[in-house]
Amino acid sequence: MKIIHLILGKANPERMNGVNKVVHALATQQQRAGADVAVWGITADLSDNYPAREFATRLFLAQRNPFSLATELRAALRQQASSPTVVHLHGAFIPVYFSAARLLTSLGIPYVLTPHGSYSPAAMRKSGFTKQVYGRVFESYLLRRAARVHCLGQSEITGVQRLNAKLPTALLPYGFEPPQPVAVATPAAPGRFRVGFCGRLDDHHKGLECLLAGFTEFARQVPEAELWVIGDGPDRDQVTQWAAAAPAGSVQLLGSRYGDEKIGLLGQLDVFAHTSHYEGLPTAVLEAVALGVPCVVTEATNLGSYVREYGCGEVLATATPGLLVEALHRLHARWQATAGGRELAPQCRQMVGTAFHWPALLPAYEQMYRQALAA
């Protein structure tokens, strides 16, 4: 059985695009486990400008018409029709996937679709009318023909069932390979209570207004509080304005950071805060928690049940500044009680090492693909 991950992009882990990061990790782990796996990327740039990788990669040129498949991609898919193949599509409301689904259906090649949070109620409200129209004509076809709709958390199951209760779903998180701690050449000054965020600066998605407003109120009450915002995106100017309302010097906008530099920053945090309105499964939270950093997450991250089970942070019912302030105060009290130590670090590492352990999850992925072939 051949597994082809079809994505927009190149599965470059050194980008802020979370989908590309998780596809890179999944394909790497499948390759190591002996699977016949490849990533096929649809991109405007065919250069191999990404780090060395263990799995095969093929790039196909994106077309001017967003629904069009490159001739080379059509030919490559036709070549797969003669052998057992499952195509795994990543993302939703992507016009070229409609055309891919039609071709795959005609060739008898089953496909699995992972929406990565795109069907949650909050995500559906963005460009809501356009999505409704597009959904009735194109997305509904994509979903009906999918052998499985792969959901990363319960919020995705709920969103998919609202679209069509009869769709065959599979609830299965991604695994995560913990990063190695990084020695920092110039550590930040001690005595500060550091809260951090890492991700795309997109307020509708990441709940950044809640993060900045909640932290600002908290910092007015806790003078040693500091917020590190790692990342960039369309709402950077708005984030800058919100940060200006916080006590002077308490918010640092650090821009995009990757690799060891990013891990070095995350490892210095006392709390990682992720106040998203919707998610698939945010890898930035797992990166921080794997380093022993407790977290504050919303239920919409699909991580709330794990955080509660392992006791490694706080869970907000919704992205509300007041709830964030209360959660930060509780974690700050723990920080004070241990003189800046990481009381919750063992629970954090246990969560990532148990619930998101790749070797334990890969057999379930293989079963999902085999069920798709048999459907």
**In degrees rounded to 5, what are phi and psi of residue 299?**
-60, -30
Joined together, the tokens standing for residue 67 give 């629904």
H or E element in which residue 32 lies: helix 18-32
What are the sequence ranges of the domains in the chain? 2-175+357-374, 193-355
**In degrees rounded to 5, what are phi and psi of residue 53?**
-140, 165
User: What is the model's pLDDT at position 120?
Assistant: 76
How does pLDDT run across 17-32, given as a tens digit for each residue? 889 989 999 999 999 9
Higher pLDDT, 338 or 77: 77
User: What is the model's pLDDT at position 187?
Assistant: 81
How does pLDDT run across 196-244, given as a tens digit for each residue? 999 999 999 999 999 999 999 999 999 999 999 999 999 999 999 999 9
5-12 mean pLDDT: 96
- Is it the case that residue 126 has pLDDT exceeding 90? no
User: What is the model's pLDDT at position 81?
Assistant: 95
User: What is the model's pLDDT at position 302?
Assistant: 93
Joined together, the tokens standing for residue 331 give 């974690």
What is the rounded end-to-end Cα distance, in angstroms, of the chain?
A: 14
The highest-level CATH class for domain 2-175+357-374 is alpha beta
Q: Is 336 left (phi over 0), alpha (psi -120 to 50) or beta?
A: alpha
CB 20 within 8 A of CB 13: yes
Same fold flag, 2-175+357-374 and 193-355: yes
Q: Please give the share of the chain, as a percent, with pLDDT higher than 90.
A: 79
- Is it the case that residue 171 has pLDDT exceeding 90? yes
Joined together, the tokens standing for residue 188 give 């930040």
- Is it the case that residue 53 has pLDDT exceeding 90? yes
At 322, the pLDDT band (50, 70, 90 cuts) reads: very high
- 210 closest CA partner among 230, 238, 171: 238
The highest-level CATH class for domain 193-355 is alpha beta
Q: Please give the share of the chain, as a percent, with pLDDT higher than 70.
A: 100
